[in-house]
Structure 1
């Protein structure tokens, strides 16, 4: 098996120079670095990353915890976070916490014991214990997406309040007044923030969102289907329904179709996230986009700044969002188009 000594001999440099190139601990001029990297490729040398990590107490590893690894939204966060972490020459350890506080605590404890270089995590809910665990360590961390409503922890989130406002203003602008909302789990802070933005926009327009027009879901397709059953049984007057993520909105469309109803003729439906499936379903889904790439990149960059600073930062980064209008929303059958609709950005 090839050794560092073999690399040094082939490149015509010292072993310490090879070490500096591999571990990127000190500046090395471009020509020398190129010679070392060429020698590594030619003899297929593989550094012992575990041993290097033990010596430096760093394995160039970042941990990422998500509530559901198979969920479309979290797949996006994983994809973009991995890409950005790789650009920083780090590896990524991904854990599925199954929306379970105990599973989350177990995975965070595993990352702490592995002495990873940093942790990015999406909290399962308000029941999360991860912050208390991490605050007892010196490991840098960033809370992504499911942030606390207040506090001084390093956080990256989308503008969830504005997301709710955008959805309400769009449906009001189309002429809807009987508008319902399907939230995500209300023990997740961002769901409350989105609902607050939604209800405030309705209130400013002189409309109220009755409690019976608010349905709590779980961010899954099936909860959208179930909501249609409840809605048609109890509130058949509703003409528009906003779901707090796209999977639930697509479930709503499916449930309405199963009952012989046509979207958007009989009911307008909108979501949040702008996952690729929005453009695959018919009608294509109107939604509020979640800036997955920008959020992931901001989280990694904030984590790297924490590492460089050698201390916990208290920065809270809020990434803007925008409305994406497609085919699933239209004026209700009994009204005309509001002039407000003409100001909406339409992406087909």
Structure 2
């Protein structure tokens, strides 16, 4: 293994500069930092020789600046990961706001073997750091300068929702939509529309208008979403809709709250998405929901990350983690 001095000589910097790069210090210029990292890459990712020399058994959990709106789904994934970790491996929840340089430094020092990423967006700085760290996203996400990565299963969930409503005898469909920071959300909507179109059916789409400065419903308060529902759905009371798809469980819960507050008698049959019991408890009639399989996703993500840590060629994110949505039937009308 190379020493810090050898890396310094190859990269044309001082040993102190190499140490600062290894410690994640921001006092190193971008050019020098890249030269040091390039030397390490040329050496096959070999880390400088240090006392102890034991390999890291830590896998970090990093929450991005735009985490999932459904905290329950996050907890299900993390709880499953914690229960499935191999012996001697540890999950490490990284501090909020940690700098990408610090992530890179921890990996170079052998303190961090890989990363699970949770959220819907990254940054150019994080992208550069991830070039050298094994990682897997636990959800769909936007990536700077490229098309969004949508985990397979979102579009199929929308198609399942349309089939469920059709099989239940619905003929007047409504699709509830809203601006979202989750790139998987539009996939569910597209799948619902496509399935109806393929059977010669159409649906009305209601887009919630959020307050200014709210790029997605995930960061809206419950009151703000309810106000948007009141403004967008005045025609529920006349029974013109008998089947409704709500692509996210939180929206569904707030929709039912609106039903109760306005004492809506002619309620449509509702199918939701995400299968989060915490949101569905107490709703009557209970809506159907589509389980996107957070536990299965976490299991596949863990297997893929361990592959990448071991040095195997990584699969693309949208191929590495594939889930099969499952319908959880709700209460049908008498």
TM value normalised by structure 1: 0.64
* Alpha-carbon contact 1:174-1:330 (below 8 Å) kept: no
Give the corresponding residue for 1:317: 321
Give the corresponding residue for 1:33: none
Give the corresponding residue for 1:248: 251
Give the CA deviation at 1:278: 5.3
Q: Give the SS at the match of 2:175.
A: strand
> 2:320 aligned with 1:326, yes or no?
no
- The size of the alignment, in residue pairs, is 264
Over 3 Å counting, the alpha-carbon distance change for 1:81 and 1:162 in structure 2 is: same
* Alpha-carbon contact 2:161-2:290 (below 8 Å) kept: yes
* Alpha-carbon contact 2:243-2:270 (below 8 Å) kept: yes
Structure 2 unmatched runs, 5+: 1-49, 210-215
Counterpart-to-counterpart distance in 1, 2:59 and 2:329: 37
Q: Give the SS at the match of 1:195.
A: helix
Give the corresponding residue for 1:271: 272
* Alpha-carbon contact 2:157-2:325 (below 8 Å) kept: yes
> 2:58 aligned with 1:65, yes or no?
no
Counterpart-to-counterpart distance in 2, 1:69 and 1:196: 20
* Alpha-carbon contact 1:164-1:196 (below 8 Å) kept: yes
Counterpart-to-counterpart distance in 2, 1:196 and 1:190: 10
> Residues 170-212 of structure 1, C-alpha deviation per residue, up to 9 Å, x if partnerless?
112223233222346444321121111011012112223345x
Structure 1 residue corresponding to 2:291, chosen from 289, 295, 306: 289
> Residues 136-192 of structure 1, C-alpha deviation per residue, up to 9 Å, x if partnerless?
32x11112221469x999x89451111000111111222323322234644432112
* Alpha-carbon contact 2:273-2:290 (below 8 Å) kept: yes
Over 3 Å counting, the alpha-carbon distance change for 1:56 and 1:190 in structure 2 is: farther
Give the corresponding residue for 1:25: none
Give the CA deviation at 1:89: 2.5
Structure 2 residue corresponding to 1:200, chosen from 194, 205, 223: 194
> 2:140 aligned with 1:120, yes or no?
no
State how 1:73-88 maps to structure 2 within 5 Å. 73-85=73-85, 87-88=86-87
* Alpha-carbon contact 2:60-2:92 (below 8 Å) kept: yes
State how 1:44-193 maps to structure 2 within 5 Å. 55-56=52-53, 58-66=55-63, 67=67, 71-85=71-85, 87-95=86-94, 103=97, 106=98, 108-115=100-107, 116-125=112-121, 128-129=123-124, 132-137=127-132, 139-147=133-141, 157=151, 159-183=153-177, 185-193=179-187
CA-atom RMSD in angstroms: 3.5
Which runs of structure 1 show a deviation greater than 6 angstroms over 4 or more consecutive aligned residues?
A: none
TM value normalised by structure 2: 0.67
